[in-house]
Amino acid sequence: MSRKKLIIPSILLSNFLIFILLGFSAATEDEQKEFFIVYLGDEPVINNVSAVQTHIDVLSSIKRSDLEAKESIIYSYTKIFNAFAAKLSKEEARKLALLDEVLSVFPNRYHKLHTTKSWDFIGLPITAKRNLKMERNIVVGLLDTGITPQSESFKDDGFGPPPRKWRGTCGHYANFSGCNNKLVGARYFKLDGNPDPSDILSPVDVDGHGTHTSSTLAGNLVPDASLFGLARGTARGAVPDARVAMYKVCWVSSGCSDMDLLAAFEAAIHDGVDVISISIGGMSADYASNAIAIGAFHAMKNGIITVASGGNDGPSSSSVANHAPWLLTVAASGIDREFRSKVELGNGKIVSGIGVNTFEPKQKLYPIVSGADAGYSRSDDGARFCADGSLDPKKVKGKLVLCELEVWGADSVVKEIGGKGIILESEQYLDAARIFMAPATVVNATVSDTVNNYIHSTKSPSAVIYRTQEVKVPAPFIASFSSRGPNPGSERILKPDVAAPGIDILASYTPLRSLTGLKGDTQHSRFSLMSGTSMACPHVAGVAAYIKSFHPNWTAAAIKSAILTTAKPMSSRVNNDAEFAHGAGQVNPEKARNPGLVYDMDEMSYIQFLCHEGYNRSSLAVLVGSKSVNCSSLLPGIGYDALNYPTMQLSVKKKQEPTVGVFVRTVTNVGPSPSIYNATIRAPRGVDIVVKPMSLSFSRSSQKRSFKVVIKAKPMPSSQMLSGSLVWKSNRHIVRSPIVIFKPLD
Ligand SMILES: *[C@@H]1O[C@H](CO)[C@@H](O)[C@H](O)[C@H]1NC(C)=O
Ligand SMILES: *[C@@H]1O[C@H](CO)[C@@H](O)[C@H](O)[C@H]1NC(C)=O
Ligand SMILES: *[C@@H]1O[C@H](CO)[C@@H](O)[C@H](O)[C@H]1NC(C)=O
Ligand SMILES: *[C@@H]1O[C@H](CO)[C@@H](O)[C@H](O)[C@H]1NC(C)=O
Ligand SMILES: *[C@@H]1O[C@H](CO)[C@@H](O)[C@H](O)[C@H]1NC(C)=O
Ligand SMILES: *[C@@H]1O[C@H](CO)[C@@H](O)[C@H](O)[C@H]1NC(C)=O
Ligand SMILES: *[C@@H]1O[C@H](CO)[C@@H](O)[C@H](O)[C@H]1NC(C)=O
């Protein structure tokens, strides 16, 4: 019998139910209308009236009347973008796109969502040096599922009023008590107007994801946090004195739509956040049609760094999302703690599995049965997966059940019909601990076979699952689910950028949802464990805010460079995909505060890069906000990748002769002066790497120095990757850039 496994990773990894909605919402007799986003130029010069009226005017030129135009506009973006969202037929969208003043028209799509100890583990102890005066002026913005205002992580004891620059707002909403001096902004965006039956039209967090990410980023110190005694410690964010602003764009059953994402980016930029953290899936490889890439580009123009999760679609190659070069893309790593449960069989044999099971056994042993033997009929294939409706309650009552994993929730199924718990067999996703609502644990096929053989070798088999314990494991390592490179959008830019803890992270949770969200679960906790690149992202956003509190005028690119060039290299021994799994390595907060040199970039650098990548006037328009960019009249971006990126990636194409890439880079001195940096190169076998010059000297601060890296790689087999590095070393600083050479799949 084939062992069919149908597991949806995003459900495992974010506790988030996803029902992707189609963009359809209304149907007239003859044509279906969908939501579209229509981008106009950044300067609304079409008409000498308000931008909103301009939007109506543009739309009425293809509609029958002003009134009809007014009625089909859902939202006008006027603060940062000049755009509107409207319900249109495909024909109307096509006509609009042909208008001179319209840059582009895109259909609205729906995206999915992709502590304590983790900060100590990566080297940001409670005692780390902090710049409290500046930290209090930092506002971090999150685009997520909402927030829990009454959580201790967001209490404002000891906080003064928000910084003067802050323009954000917050009101009272259903189940939402309003903001305070810690939680200084909270809004929601639900432009499609379709009520979400599982959510509340309010910034309140019904899912738990947004409360968790916000508290990881900037939550207060909360001593004695735990999940029923597990993972006990002081919960805290990277910048506990910073303020939080939540922009709710993700809804429990409908996901996160482009229209809402853009509105939230606009609000966050206008409100004056310092850092944006976004743990939501990106979609297309084309930056000009991706709401997150577009929003983040405008954030970058306004000096705001956007940190994004790389996705939970690993270990497949080229699965990394949110890979635009102006985003900081985060992979998920594991810390040195695993949650294990022992299972003792009636014959005295002890095996072990992974998962969070907070239940103490009430009996010494329970009878155990295999799901495959407990169905209504032998022929029901669902029984071995303990699928809903397939098990005979008479055969399960009072027993533990051995099930194969198909979809999560077998613990709820078995409990509902009187069973006592489950042992779940899975070959995948064994690095993150799932929370269960009944005694349960996840075992691999070897252990499952042991249990199954025991069940079938004795007359009255029995077993017991013990409460979960924390076990120390070797770390860091990259999560199997963490999305991998190479970058599907630009083969000359290494992604993900950096790794941070994203497995079994303890942080604040919502009271509005049980721990599992499953039917019959009555477990609630102020803190919960979650896994995913969603959890890794706010760690790095927190480090970005931490750096910003020391260097308030650094650009988004300088902050990113500081994080990348100081990351701890990770061992390729435990990470087969090397840089394609972890980028520059594990984020290293205290080192990132003081990197010595930075690779800086501005808006024009990215435009030159995009021209070099083959973008043109029309495909750039949405990012730049006008059709005025003429790539052929710009100074060309120089070198192989045409960007001053802090890492280097060469794609080998040639079959017979060597491939040569000349990378041109400029570093800015942000460390002491005078100082001298010498280059150290590590070249993999078959690759020559030469740096010119080999030494850089700086006599003053902010001074820039340029250099060239010439990489010459021999032909190599398809899909192979090699790792090298360039390190600039002074007496005080180590500035490291990983170098990746790879051959794309033929
Ligand atoms: C635009 O409006 C301003 C006042 O709102 C007015 O002074 C100006 O003449 C107008 N320009 C045009 C071209 O209508
Ligand atoms: C939200 O508030 C309403 C009115 O106060 C209340 O009836 C409802 O139970 C609340 N919902 C949740 C999920 O707490
Ligand atoms: C299965 O799990 C057990 C217990 O954790 C472990 O000792 C064993 O190495 C695993 N086997 C495989 C093939 O991974
Ligand atoms: C930031 O401020 C420092 C000192 O005030 C100055 O030397 C530096 O040039 C500034 N950097 C930028 C990017 O504005
Ligand atoms: C610009 O780029 C787009 C997308 O790559 C392409 O479809 C279009 O033909 C290009 N236009 C010109 C004028 O090259
Ligand atoms: C773009 O710039 C080039 C070089 O300056 C020029 O020859 C060309 O006419 C320009 N194209 C447009 C559409 O303005
Ligand atoms: C850099 O190289 C120069 C010349 O080889 C040497 O004198 C100097 O000590 C080196 N500096 C560092 C920090 O390694």
CATH of the domain at 43: 3.30.70.80
| 668 falls within a domain | yes
- What is the domain extent for residue 614? 602-639
Ligand 1: centre distance to CA 71 (Å): 27
Same-domain check for residues 518 and 382: no
| 504 falls within a domain | yes
Same-domain check for residues 467 and 508: no
| 113 falls within a domain | no
Three-state secondary structure along 91-150?
A: HHHHHHHHCCCEEEEEECCEECECCCHHHHHHCCCCCCCCCHHHHCCCEEEEEECCECCC
Looking at residue 702, its pLDDT comes to 97
Three-state SS at 734: strand
| 209 falls within a domain | yes
Looking at residue 572, its pLDDT comes to 62
Q: 622-625 long-range CB contacts below 8 Å, 24 or more apart? A: 622/39, 622/103, 622/104, 622/288, 622/289, 622/294, 623/287, 623/288, 623/293, 623/294, 623/297, 624/42, 625/41, 625/42, 625/43, 625/81, 625/82, 625/103, 625/298
309 a catalytic residue: no
55 a catalytic residue: no
| 12 falls within a domain | no
Q: Tell whether ligand 3 has an atom less than 6 A from the beta carbon of residue 450.
A: no
Same-domain check for residues 77 and 205: no
Q: Tell whether ligand 5 has an atom less than 6 A from the beta carbon of residue 618.
A: yes
| 14 falls within a domain | no
| CATH number of 729's domain | 2.60.40.2310
284 a catalytic residue: no
**Among all ligands shown, which has an atom nearest to the Cα of 104?**
5
| 345 falls within a domain | yes
Ligand 5: centre distance to CA 618 (Å): 7
Among candidate residues 10, 14, 144, 274, the one labeled active-site is 144
Among 290, 611, 615, 616, which is best to mutate for testing ligand 5, by the most ligand atoms less than 8 A from CB? Answer: 616
Mean pLDDT, each 10-residue run in order, the chain (746 residues): 34 30 33 89 58 89 89 90 93 93 91 68 76 93 97 96 95 92 97 93 96 97 92 93 97 93 97 97 82 96 97 92 97 94 96 96 96 88 93 97 93 96 90 94 96 97 97 91 94 97 95 93 95 96 98 97 97 77 97 98 95 91 88 86 97 91 98 97 96 98 98 92 97 97 90
In whole angstroms, give the CA distance from residue 498 to residue 329: 7
Same-domain check for residues 153 and 252: yes
Same-domain check for residues 416 and 489: no
| 375 falls within a domain | yes
Query: Is residue 224 a contact partner of residue 203, using CB atoms and an 8 Å limit?
Result: no
In whole angstroms, give the CA distance from residue 203 to residue 515: 20
Same-domain check for residues 152 and 229: yes
- Of all atoms in ligand 2, which is nearest to the CA of residue 512? 13
User: Which residues contact residue 186 at a Cβ distance below 8 angstroms, ignoring those fewer than 6 apart?
Assistant: 146, 147, 149, 170, 176, 179, 203, 245, 246, 248
Among candidate residues 534, 561, 730, 737, the one labeled active-site is 534
In whole angstroms, give the CA distance from residue 705 to residue 675: 12
Same-domain check for residues 186 and 138: yes
Cα–Cα distance list, 536 to 69, 118, 119, 563 (Å): 43, 10, 11, 14
Looking at residue 430, its pLDDT comes to 84
- Residue nearest atom 9 of ligand 4, based on CA coordinates: 702
Ligand 6 surroundings by CB, under 6 angstroms: 630, 632-633
Query: In total, how many domains does the chain have?
Result: 5
Whole-prediction pTM: 0.91
Same-domain check for residues 282 and 191: yes
Same-domain check for residues 625 and 659: no
Same-domain check for residues 426 and 573: no
Ligand 2: centre distance to CA 54 (Å): 40
Looking at residue 1, its pLDDT comes to 34
Looking at residue 80, its pLDDT comes to 86
| CATH number of 365's domain | 3.50.30.30
Residues 296, 178, 536, 735, CA torsion sign: positive
User: Which residues contact residue 307 at a Cβ distance below 8 angstroms, ignoring those fewer than 6 apart?
Assistant: 275, 276, 277, 278, 327, 328, 330, 537, 538, 540, 541, 544
User: Which residues contact residue 698 at a Cβ distance below 8 angstroms, ignoring those fewer than 6 apart?
Assistant: 669, 671, 673, 674, 675, 676, 677, 705
